[in-house]
Amino acid sequence: MTDSDPPAIRTRFAPSPSGFLHLGSARTALFNWAYARRHGGKLVIRIEDTDVERSTLESEKAVLEGLEWLGIDWDEGPLRQSERSERHLAAVERLLSTGHAYRCRCTRIELEERRTQTIAAGRKWTYDGLCRDLELGDDCGPHTVRLRLPEHGELGWDDAVYGPSGQDASEIGDRIIRRSDGLPLYHLAVVVDDLEMGITHVIRGADHHPNTPLQIALYRALDADPPTFAHVPLIVGSGGKKLSKRRDSVSIQDFERDGILPDALRNWLIRIGWSCGDQEIFSADEICASFDLAAVNRSSAQADAEKLAWLNQHYIKELPNAEFVAALMPFLSQVTSQAVTPSDGLSQLVELQRERGKTLVEIARLSRWFVNDTIDYEEKAVTKHLKPAIGPPLRDLHDALAKLSNWSEESVKSCFDAVLAQHEDLKMGKLAQPVRVALTGGTVSPGIFETLAVLGQARSIARVEAALDLIPPA
RNA sequence: GCUCCCAUCGUCUAGCGGUCUAGGACGGGGCCCUCUCAAGGCUCAAACACGGGUUCGAUUCCCGUUGGGAGCGCCA
């Protein structure tokens, strides 16, 4: 590599491990991943776990598993920010020695007092600089360290999404970068980490946009070039309000539990705040081939569950049979107390149910009649369709079905044809629904011949027989 | 309160001064198909927040209003 080569692209995803992978974080991760993949770069994972109160190993695991489930793979990490505090502190010392930072003795209570006064006077609070020129040494007692900002001057950058952005240094004020207990603060840690990890593109939520001027100042004080920043619009809930844990599904695990396919969720997320012509369906490869920061929107977007459902059904319809059966298995187990095992019948059933449900949960629910030997009859269905008049034709159908020596959609259909011919006033609909109730307990199922075929002769006949007994006497 | 950001159908979006009687998708309505439910096909309704400029011409550029959002910690 020569000096003129552009540096290889390195993006990062830096979640704080708060118990689960949040929807918004997941999309940020996806954008970082897509951008790195698109440009042959690397994605680095860094766990921002300096908040010991909230950070646990389990929650870190949950976040990582969420990424894997979504199909997001990374090249380096996970690194832990908590293990890098020496590097952060070294940077503070450097800043101190170059005069870009100074020690501050102001206490929390003093600060709080001055802040409330300023705000009461209707002014924005920035540090008033009391310790700024005191040139306090390390022996000055309990103290924090503050970054020394220029009095004035634009702290600007060209955001890859928002375009030219920035704020005047006077709006920021001298901010604390090392706490009085000696621990580094977030903004300092982030800048040092991104710098030392060689991150070229910081793609993160737009909630960080207002924090960026401070970080620009930090890069300058550290005598380093800032990376490219790209702030992506926030995902909001219905009504444009903040996503709430109560109202909305906010954790990736929620979607998995609700029977959403990872391909569908990934497709849904990538299209929130980003588009590529009229294309709606994006495979992982297509995302990697076409994702572009310049096409990212600037306004926050609502998460639309209906669109996700549609995408999910689309991917359900495309899933290879074996994968579909495997994906459905745990959901089937939830709707029956019987053991569910893969079988030819199950493989066939799944083909019939593909287009009848939008989630795995829904498809499992629609398939209860197949995996359960005991039928839950819907009372309304029974009283409506199992009436005395249907007794004789149903009996005839039963007998015809019982005589069949080869069991198939075609042979079963011939039995229906025969019964219909025998009973002149009987229409297909009048016969099919009672049979459907007999087989499934309800009024909803795939085509009646297909349902019979997949259920098999023995089970079908037994169920029709049982239904015959449910018909009240005339 | 202060600073910053955002603003096209209900929702996600296309549009980068004339191509806009504003396109696509989800959702909604209707029709067709039909043994139920779906799926599928066809079809309809639905938006440039408002007010000023700039311009021969604004959805597109500028300013303001309104509405939303974010940030203002010895949290991350």
Q: Which residues pair with A44 in a beta bridge?
A: A12, A76
Please write the tens of the pLDDT for every residue from A232-278.
999 998 877 888 777 788 899 999 999 999 999 999 999 999 999 99
- CA-nearest of A452, A450, A434 to A353 is A450
Render pLDDT for A121-150 as a digit per residue (tens, 0 to 9).
777 788 988 999 988 888 888 999 999 999
Spanning CA of A116 to C1' of B69, the rounded length in angstroms is: 25
Residue A289 lies in a domain: no
Same-domain check for residues A416 and A464:
yes
Which CATH number fits the domain that encloses residue A413? 1.10.10.350
pLDDT given at position A53: 67
Across all strands, nucleotide nearest A189 (CA–C1'): B76
Instruction: Return d(Cα A333, Cα A339) in angstroms, integer.
Output: 7
> Can you give the pLDDT at residue A239?
77
For chain A, the C-alpha Rg in angstroms (whole number) is: 32
**pLDDT for residue A4 is more than 60:** no
Does A117 map to a domain? yes
On average, the pLDDT of chain A sits at: 92
Same domain as A422, residue A360 = no
Domain at A172, CATH number: 3.40.50.620
- A294 within some domain: no
Q: Domain check: are A464 and A329 in the same one?
A: no
- Pair A448, A332 in one domain: no
pTM for the complete prediction?
0.93
SS3 A40: coil
The CA-based angle A245-A251-A254, given to 5 degrees, is: 100
Tens digits of per-residue pLDDT, A94-118?
999 999 999 999 999 999 888 888 8
Residue A125 corresponds to which amino acid?
W
Q: How confident is the model at residue A397 (pLDDT cuts 50, 70, 90)?
A: very high
Residue A91 and residue A228 share a domain: yes
Lowest mean pLDDT among A244-248, A393-397, A412-416, A463-467: A244-248
Is the Cβ–Cβ distance between A416 and A346 less than 8 Å?
no
Of the candidates A61, A242, A245, A380, the residue annotated as catalytic is: A245
Of A191, A209, A232, the residue at which a domain comes to its end is A232
DSSP bridge partners of A157 = A165
| Nearest residue: Cα versus C1' of B25 | A280
pLDDT score, position A242: 82
Of A392, A414, A400, A380, nearest to A474 by C-alpha is A392
Same domain? For A385 and A445 the reply is yes
pLDDT at A421 over 70: yes
pLDDT of the residue at A406: 92
- Residue A162: which nucleotide is closest by CA–C1'? B5
Same domain, A200 and A332: no
Comparing every residue's Cα with the C1' atom of nucleotide B16, the nearest one is: A295
Is A454 inside any structural domain?
Answer: yes
The answer to whether residue A277 sits within a structural domain is no
- A425 and A353 co-located in one domain: no
pLDDT at A66: 95
Query: A329 lies in a domain?
Result: yes
Determine phi and psi for A420, rounding to 5 degrees. -65, -35
Mark whether A99 and A214 lie in a shared domain: yes
Q: Which of A169, A199, A232 is the last residue of a domain?
A: A232
Domain ranges, residue A208: 85-232
- Residue A217 in this model has a pLDDT that exceeds 70: yes
Express each pLDDT in A348-372 by its tens digit.
999 999 999 999 999 999 999 999 9
Return the CATH number at A360: 1.10.8
Q: C1' nearest to CA of A238: which nucleotide?
A: B11
pLDDT score at A1? 45
pLDDT at residue A203 greater than cutoff 70: yes
* A466 pLDDT tier (thresholds 50, 70, 90): very high
pLDDT in tens, A16-51: 887 789 999 999 999 999 999 999 999 999 999 887
Band (pLDDT 50/70/90 cuts) for residue A6 is: low
pLDDT value for A5: 60
Residue A381: pLDDT band with limits 50, 70, 90: very high
Least confident of A11-15, A236-240, A285-289: A236-240
Single-letter residue type at A380: K
pLDDT for A293 equals: 95
The arrangement of strands across the sheet holding A10-13 comes to: A76-80, A42-47, A10-13, A201-205, A228-232
Q: How many CB atoms lie within 10 A of CB A336?
A: 16
Nucleotides of B under 7 A from a protein CB: 1-8, 10-14, 23-27, 34-40, 68-76
Whole-number distance in Å between A388 CA and B24 C1': 53
Q: Is the pLDDT of residue A224 over 70?
A: yes
Amino acid letter for position A214:
L
CA of A305 to C1' of B18 (A): 39
Protein-to-nucleotide distance from the CA of A235 to the C1' of B52, whole angstroms: 33
For residue A450, being part of any structural domain is answered with yes
How many structural domains does chain A have?
Answer: 3
- The residue among A310, A343, A373 that closes a domain is A373
Distance between CA atoms of A420 and A433, rounded to whole angstroms? 14
Is A258 a domain residue?
A: no
Residue A95 is encoded by which pair of tokens?
């800043």
Using the CA of A173, give the nucleotide whose C1' is nearest: B72
The distance (Å) linking the CA of A294 with the C1' of B27 is 29
Let me know whether A90 and A208 are in one domain. Answer: yes
Report whether A426 contacts A419 (CB < 8 A): yes
Known catalytic residue: A42? no
Least confident window among A119-133, A203-217, A419-433: A119-133
